[in-house]
């Protein structure tokens, strides 16, 4: 059955995407809060925040994108929880399909839906004055980092969806992830923070990812930040994947 993994995964991806397309409000819901935050920070707080740049939208956008992704992956946990609660996963396992394709279908759906959300936010940022001097390779690097970040958080979401006892518990895990960019360089330079907060902000994953994306979009030297960002994304993804698969096999033997 594993020889048909890709075709089975395609079927599961199609199933999950149909759920998304029938309820497009989930994507709009994911977009609304980050866009509202971007509008508020740029047009209300932007004049009082000193970031060393004349275009605060350019500075702010990477963090807004990460908040959107952190918000979007909560729906993966929600959908997995419903499949588990309703016995759908067990039902799929009685069929001649690759058992891991069910889990991967949810994960890839998260990537696709978050790409759509990120694209919508980019369009709004362009209207607000965002501009970039990045070349094609830089844009591809930004896309790759955002996809890696989405995959990493989606596997974390899978753990929550498969382990939660209630619907609320399945989605509540995303709140700390949404809050994390606020204690980073996403909105203000870390140099303005108290020493204890600054140490945390400079050594958590969001800061390195934000700084890398910001440098790529502005055609600035990246330095070692990109390797730190990639290490965080890949490390979180591998660890979360192992725990998610373990939870998946335990809940659906």
Task: Express each pLDDT in 185-209 by its tens digit.
Answer: 999 998 889 999 999 999 999 999 9
Higher pLDDT, 237 or 22: 237
Express each pLDDT in 2-53 by its tens digit.
457 777 777 777 887 787 777 666 777 778 889 999 999 898 887 777 777 7
Looking at residue 25, its pLDDT comes to: 67
**Average pLDDT, stretch 229-251?**
91
Q: If pLDDT is split at 50, 70 and 90, which confidence band does 125 have?
A: very high
pTM: 0.89
Whole-angstrom distance, CA of residue 45 vs CA of residue 135: 30
Contact between residue 71 and residue 38 where contact means Cβ atoms under 8 Å apart: no
Phi-psi region of 130 (alpha: psi -120 to 50; beta: other; left: phi over 0): beta
Tell me what percent of the residues of the chain surpass a pLDDT of 90: 43
Segment (H or E) for 148: helix 136-163
- Could you count the other beta carbons within 10 Å of the beta carbon of residue 55? 16
Whole-angstrom distance, CA of residue 8 vs CA of residue 96: 9
Whole-angstrom distance, CA of residue 247 vs CA of residue 205: 25
**Average pLDDT, stretch 244-248?**
88
**Over 214-234, what HEC string results?**
HHHHCCCCCCCHHHHHHHHHH
Higher pLDDT, 142 or 103: 142
Express each pLDDT in 42-101 by its tens digit.
988 877 777 777 788 999 999 999 999 998 888 888 888 888 888 877 777 777 777 778
DSSP 204: S
pLDDT greater than 50 at residue 237: yes
Tell me the Cα Rg of the chain.
19
Contact between residue 79 and residue 160 where contact means Cβ atoms under 8 Å apart: no
Backbone angles phi, psi at 41, to 5 degrees: -65, -35
- Could you count the other beta carbons within 10 Å of the beta carbon of residue 230? 16
Burial of 145 from C-beta contacts in 10 A (0-12 / 13-18 / 19+): buried
DSSP 165: S
- Supply the mean pLDDT for the chain: 86
For the chain, which residues make up each domain, given as ranges?
2-251
Looking at residue 1, its pLDDT comes to: 45
Whole-angstrom distance, CA of residue 200 vs CA of residue 50: 21
């Amino acid at each position: 059955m594993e020889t048909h993994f890709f075709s089975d995964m395609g079927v599961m991806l199609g199933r999950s995407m149909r759920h998304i397309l029938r309820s497009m409000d989930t994507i709009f819901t994911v977009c609304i809060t980050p866009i509202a935050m971007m509008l508020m920070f740029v047009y209300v707080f932007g004049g009082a925040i000193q970031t060393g740049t004349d275009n605060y939208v350019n500075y702010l956008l990477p963090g807004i994108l990460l908040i959107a992704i952190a918000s979007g992956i909560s729906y993966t946990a929600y959908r997995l929880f419903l499949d588990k609660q309703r016995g759908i996963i067990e039902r799929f396992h009685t069929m001649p399909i690759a058992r891991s394709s069910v889990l991967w279908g949810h994960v890839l759906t998260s990537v696709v839906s978050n790409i759509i959300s990120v694209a919508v936010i980019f369009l709004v940022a362009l209207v607000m004055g965002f501009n970039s001097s990045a070349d094609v390779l830089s844009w591809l690097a930004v896309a790759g980092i955002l996809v890696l970040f989405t995959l990493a958080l989606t596997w974390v979401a899978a753990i929550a969806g498969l382990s939660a006892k209630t619907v609320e518990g399945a989605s509540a895990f995303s709140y700390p992830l949404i809050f994390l960019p606020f204690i980073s360089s996403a909105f203000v330079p870390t140099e303005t923070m108290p020493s204890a907060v600054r140490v945390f902000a400079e050594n958590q994953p969001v800061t390195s990812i934000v700084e890398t994306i910001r440098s790529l979009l502005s055609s600035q030297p990246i330095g070692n930040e990109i390797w730190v960002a990639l290490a965080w994304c890949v490390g979180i993804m591998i660890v979360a994947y192992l725990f998610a698969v373990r939870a998946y096999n335990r809940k659906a033997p």
